[in-house]
Amino acid sequence: MSAEPSLCAPDIVGQAGSPRAMRRLQDAIADLRALSVEPYLRQSVAALQAEQAQEAAQWAIKALERDERCGMAWYCLAIAREKAGDFKGSLQCYESALALSPEHVEIANNLGRLAYRMGMSDLAEQFFRLYLQRHPNAFEPSNNLACCLRDQHRYAEAIDILRSAIEADPENPMLWNTLGTVLTDQGEFEASVTFFNEALRLDDGYVKARYNRATAKLSLGDPHGALIDCDEALAGQMAEHERATMNLARSTMLIAQGRLKEGWDAYEARLSHHYYDALIYLIDRPAWTPDMALEGKTLLVFAEQGLGDEVLFANVVPDVIQALGPSGRLILAVEQRLAPLFRRSFPTARIEAHATYNVDARTVRCAPFLTEGDVVDAWAPLGALLRRFRPDLAAFPDRPGFLTPDPARVAHWRAALEAAPQGPKVGILWKSLKLDGARLRYFSPFDFWRPVLATPGVAFVNLQYGDSAAETAQAARELGVQLWRPPGLDLKEDLDDLAALTLALDLVIAPANATSNIAAACGAPVWLISTPGAWPKLGADRYPWYPSVRVFNPPAFNDWAPVMDEITQALAAAFANNGTQVTAPS
């Protein structure tokens, strides 16, 4: 998980126990010949309509006790379990229902929708295609199938499906909205707004289209306009999981405007049990609140979200340690690879590794090191502490860095860098190992690095974790540039030694990811390639988290040439006299 929330409202058509689904279910029950189960099924449906999932499940089970091969009973139980949050059990019940009642293809749509909800897009695609075969002229299966194809990054196929559906039903706002999300996923935000506008022209009260337009505006660097759209969307009717997604996105719109106090409070939406991607913490200690006195207390803090976010949010750790005082204690649970670096950086804190599991399509985090004898007065996710310690930009300290690499390893890498080509040593990386869908739009294709790599007199150090053989060969073949690889260093796993290397370099140039966050947190000079609407800039023209960071912004998504030219000019100016000192931004 990343600090960046999901920016597209779930746009699969249908939901468990929707009024239309309930009407279809009642019609199917009326056709049943097994009169012995009919009363139980009607009670189950009534409970579903009243949002009483547990009672609905009990009535469905009673029906199954009388006829275990009743497909409609399995269907009711599936809906009840889905409403209760038991996605795995619900999926199994839907499968049983479809096997026993194949004529009710509405079940296939529900199966696909739930599989999609659980992140199984390939399985969802199969069920939506089955539903489409039986209802070739219905917009629902076309829309849902397009969503699956979009999430598998099969954009051309998704657009073809939607184009055919729109030709058959041009007045359907859902189809225009989904087409907009396909473009959003590719970073084509300006074009996507056109389709969201069309969806809203057809239905001004269509909350998903208004919300999706809000997220597009945020990415285009218009957080004020985004917030207006998002608030209007939230005033409408929607499922609770959609409201949770919108509330989380709303928090980033506030933060992107510099309205930090409101924004951090709203950011708690990421912990809502209605939010699909919420991280669930298994901890039986009291929860911390912003008004809680900390001096003399023992506070357990879980680092959260992606690796880069664990480092970013650690900006507050020195303040927390100070607030706990000499008689207090911080227990900080971080990703295992960060533990050595954090232990050196915060020697008075107890640094341990958290454990994270996937349980029935939910992400669960715990503190396996904690014993019954460990006294913990309160616990908190690391990001929650921002509410107290970073209420505005002035609260961000002007400290060079807050992580401390091993001095001996910094010296080692300064000596090792003598073997690299002559000139100032500039570390670069250009991609993420998770270059898929929405993340893809945050990283410039390697071809756009050509002018940067052609800067004379600069020695480039390859900090790219994962497989970079193709790009390394391309740089050597087309530009005659050697991307020097640090010998004996696992750039993905050995983050403590990576931190030392970044401090030994003269400069690091990279997009926002784990490596650039680690380098900046250590106080190394970093040139960060950002994006127009990136909310971690907090409404500023700099990166308040790290004083050593200089931000470079492309004029728009996918418009990489201008920003890479700007970096090229800045790089030439910084080392014009073969100097090896890059000053922090003013």
Are 348 and 463 in the same domain?
no
Integer angstrom CA distances of residue 213 from 162, 176, 190, 206, 272? 19, 12, 10, 11, 23
The verdict on residue 397 lying in a domain is no
Give the end of a domain, one of 169, 189, 216.
169
Name the residue with tokens 């800039």: 537
Give the end of a domain, one of 120, 144, 169.
169
Say how far apart CA 549 and CA 555 lie, in whole Å: 19
Eight-state DSSP code of residue 422: S
Are 284 and 320 in the same domain?
yes
Query: Token pair for residue 136?
Result: 């070739």
Are 504 and 451 in the same domain?
yes
The verdict on residue 6 lying in a domain is no
Say how far apart CA 445 and CA 443 lie, in whole Å: 6
Say how far apart CA 440 and CA 123 lie, in whole Å: 23
pLDDT reported for residue 402: 97
| Number of residues assigned to the chain | 586
Cα atoms in the Cβ-side hemisphere of radius 13 Å centred on 398: 5
What crossing angle do the helices spanning 207-219 and 240-256 adopt, rounded to 10°? 30
Are 290 and 144 in the same domain?
no
Nearest one of 93, 2, 76 to 40, comparing CA atoms: 76
pLDDT reported for residue 2: 47
Are 31 and 136 in the same domain?
yes
pLDDT reported for residue 45: 85
The verdict on residue 229 lying in a domain is no
Domain holding 341, by residue range, is 279-391
Say how far apart CA 442 and CA 532 lie, in whole Å: 10
Query: Token pair for residue 447?
Result: 């071809």
The verdict on residue 221 lying in a domain is no
Instruction: Compute mean pLDDT per 10 residues along the chain, 586 residues long, and list them.
Output: 48 57 55 67 86 90 90 86 82 83 75 76 81 81 90 93 94 96 91 97 96 94 95 92 93 96 96 89 95 96 94 98 97 98 98 91 91 94 97 95 98 97 96 59 83 95 94 94 96 97 98 96 97 91 94 87 95 78 55
Concatenated DSSP letters for 490-556?
-TTT-HHHHHHHHHHSSEEEEESSHHHHHHHHTT--EEEE--TT-GGGTTSSS-TT-TTEEEE--SS
pLDDT reported for residue 538: 96
Are 36 and 154 in the same domain?
yes
Which of helix, strand or coil describes residue 350? Answer: strand
Q: Contact 460/428 with Cβ under 8 angstroms?
A: yes
The domain that contains 542 carries what CATH number? 3.40.50.2000
Eight-state DSSP code of residue 278: P
Say how far apart CA 50 and CA 493 lie, in whole Å: 51
What crossing angle do the helices spanning 53-66 and 38-49 adopt, rounded to 10°? 170
Integer angstrom CA distances of residue 227 from 190, 224, 234, 271? 17, 5, 10, 21
pLDDT reported for residue 338: 98
Nearest one of 70, 72, 92, 96 to 81, comparing CA atoms: 92
Say how far apart CA 463 and CA 489 lie, in whole Å: 10
E strand or H helix that includes residue 437 = none
Are 379 and 526 in the same domain?
no
Are 445 and 566 in the same domain?
yes
Q: How many domains does the structure of the chain reveal? A: 3
pLDDT reported for residue 280: 93
The domain that contains 81 carries what CATH number? 1.25.40.10
The verdict on residue 272 lying in a domain is no
pLDDT reported for residue 14: 57
Which residues on adjacent β-strands are paired with residue 511? 529
Tell me the pTM.
0.82
Are 383 and 481 in the same domain?
no
Are 544 and 419 in the same domain?
yes
The verdict on residue 201 lying in a domain is no
Eight-state DSSP code of residue 187: T
The verdict on residue 447 lying in a domain is yes
Are 384 and 431 in the same domain?
no
Are 50 and 122 in the same domain?
yes
The verdict on residue 516 lying in a domain is yes
For the chain, the C-alpha Rg in angstroms (whole number) is: 27
Q: Contact 432/398 with Cβ under 8 angstroms?
A: no
> Residue type for 97, please?
A
Can you give 351-413 as a three-state secondary structure string? EEECEEEEECCEEEEECCCCCCCCCCCEEEEHHHHHHHHCCCHHHCCCCCCCCCCCHHHHHHH
As a whole number of Å, the end-to-end CA separation of the chain is 33
pLDDT reported for residue 326: 96
Give the end of a domain, one of 136, 169, 202.
169
